[in-house]
Amino acid sequence: MNERVSPVFPPAPWSVRTKRAARQAAMKSWLEGMVYLFPSLLLFGVFLFYPLGRTMYLSVFHTDYQGQPTEFAGLAHFVALLQDDSFWHSLKATILFAALTVPTTVAVSFGLALLVHETRKGIGIFRTIFASTMGMSVGVASVIWMFMYNPAIGIINRLLSAIGGVPVSWLLDQDTALYAVAAATIWMNIGLTFLLLLAGLQNIDPSLYESARIAGMSYWRQLWTVTVPLLSPTLFFVTTVSLIQALQTFGQIDFLTKGGPVEATNVFVYAIYREAFVNYQFGSASAQAIVLFLIIALVTFLQFRFAERKVHYQ
């Protein structure tokens, strides 16, 4: 190296100052970051982490009707839950409800998405129609379906009797109530699921289809060799989202059946709601809420893990 460096090395105390300056800079950047995060962290703290902790806390206490803990209960609430038929019943109803709604919603939405994936004249109108149920709020959807299920004047029984069937009290019969609510739910949820799956389909590189066509693959073969594998992350995501949604079902139950008849539709969240805000058993309701949290956390966690692996796999 022939370059001469002029001798302006900084004096010794300076290097001490720079360390302090570096610390100050780190502190400043931390403060600035925190300013941006503060709203989120505060809100998560107050309305998510604190209440989650509080729910855990309440779940091991007996409470008064205002939700104040009165006496330590230990695991009594949980033990009582496990021994309570109605808890098991509610769990069963929830699982059945999920089993009825999730696969059907995903399958129907997938079919609809495939139908409008091809570009044809006027396809945009059909896309809008298929997505439209996303704009149906729980209240609107529920009152419409409630009327459709009306035993005397509802369209469903009208059609039934037109083809010679016997009228059914869809929402009042404990054998049909859950199925009836599930049908309404599927209709409500199709919009979002459809939209997500369509977006997933459109993310697939069209040249893959072109090369499949050149290779002479039939439509169904293309579906199995190109579409399904490439869409599988989306399908999986949509399934878990629907599953979590199903586990959290509340609105349509409150509208259509109020958990009845004879607890046939008393799904998890509805059971929690009743225990807490009708029976004022906050401790026991909290214990159930913790069970719900554990189930949903598990499902979400599995989704994360699986999705992560999928990304590597691609």
Partner 1 sequence: MAFLELVEVTKSYGGKKSAVENVNVAIESGEFFVLVGPSGCGKSTILRLIAGLEPLTSGYVLIDGQVANDWPPHARRLSMVFQNYALYPHLTVEQNMRIVLQAQKVPKEEQVKRCMEAAELLGLTDVLQRKPRELSGGQRQRVALGRAIVAQTPLCLMDEPLSNLDAKLRAKMRSELRRLQRQLGMTVIYVTHDQTEAMTMADRMMILHDGRPQQIGSPLDVYNSPDNTFVASFIGTPPMNLAEAHVLEHSLLLQNERPIRLMGRSLPKAERVTVGLRPEHIDRAESGEEHVTAQVSHIEWLGNETLVTFELAKNLYWTARWNGQWRIRLGEVVPLAFDEQALLFFDERGKRIGAPSIKREEVRVRQ
Partner 2 sequence: MRAARATAHYVLLCLCSVVILFPVAYALLMSLMDGAAILSGRLWPENWTLVNYEAAFQQAPLGRYLWNSFFVAFMITLGRLIVSSLAAFAFVFLRFPGRDRWFYICIATMLVPWEATVIPNFLTIQALGWTNHYVGLIVPFWAMAFGIFLLRQQFKQIPHELYEAAQLSGIGNFRFFCRVVLPLSKTSLVTLAVYSFLDAWNMYLWPLLVTNDDRVRTVQIGLKQLQTQEIASSWGVVMAAAVIAMLPTLLLLFAGQKQLRKGLMQGAIQ
Nearest distance from C-beta of residue 146 to partner 1, angstroms: 48
Alpha carbon distance, N-terminus to C-terminus of the chain:
49
Site for partner 1 in 4-63 (CB under 8 A): 4-6, 8-10, 14, 18, 21-22, 25
The smaller minimum CB distance to partner 1, of residues 9 and 220, is found at 9
The smaller minimum CB distance to partner 1, of residues 21 and 41, is found at 21
Q: Which does 25 bind (CB under 5 to 8 A by kind): partner 1, partner 2, none?
A: partner 1
Dihedral over Cα of 165, 167, 169, 173: its sign: negative
Site for partner 2 in 154-173 (CB under 8 A): 155, 158
Q: Are 117 and 201 in contact (CB under 8 A)?
A: yes
- From CA 227, how far away is CA 143, in angstroms rounded? 37
Choose one: 1-9, 89-97, 121-129, 174-182; the region binding partner 2 (CB under 8 A). 121-129
Q: Which does 116 bind (CB under 5 to 8 A by kind): partner 2, partner 1, none?
A: partner 2
Residue 297 gets the label, from left (phi > 0), alpha (psi -120 to 50) or beta, of alpha
CA-angle at 111, arms to 108 and 115, nearest 5°: 140
Find the farthest-apart pair of alpha carbons in the chain and give their distance in angstroms, rounded. Answer: 105
The smaller minimum CB distance to partner 2, of residues 81 and 276, is found at 276
**How many residues in the shown chain lie near partner 2 by CB under 8 A?**
97
Site for partner 2 in 79-118 (CB under 8 A): 112, 115-116, 118
Q: Which does 228 bind (CB under 5 to 8 A by kind): partner 2, partner 1, none?
A: none
The smaller minimum CB distance to partner 2, of residues 214 and 311, is found at 311
Is 2 a binding residue for partner 1 by CB under 8 A? The answer is yes
Residue reference for tokens 């809008």: 128
- 106 contacts: CB under 8 Å, gap ≥ 6: 193, 197, 235, 238, 239, 242
- Give the number of C-alpha atoms closer than 13 A to the C-alpha of residue 64, restricted to the C-beta side: 3
Structure tokens at 249: 């079902």
Is 3 a binding residue for partner 1 by CB under 8 A? The answer is yes
The smaller minimum CB distance to partner 2, of residues 100 and 141, is found at 141
- Binding residues for partner 1 (CB under 8 A): 1-6, 8-10, 14, 18, 21-22, 25
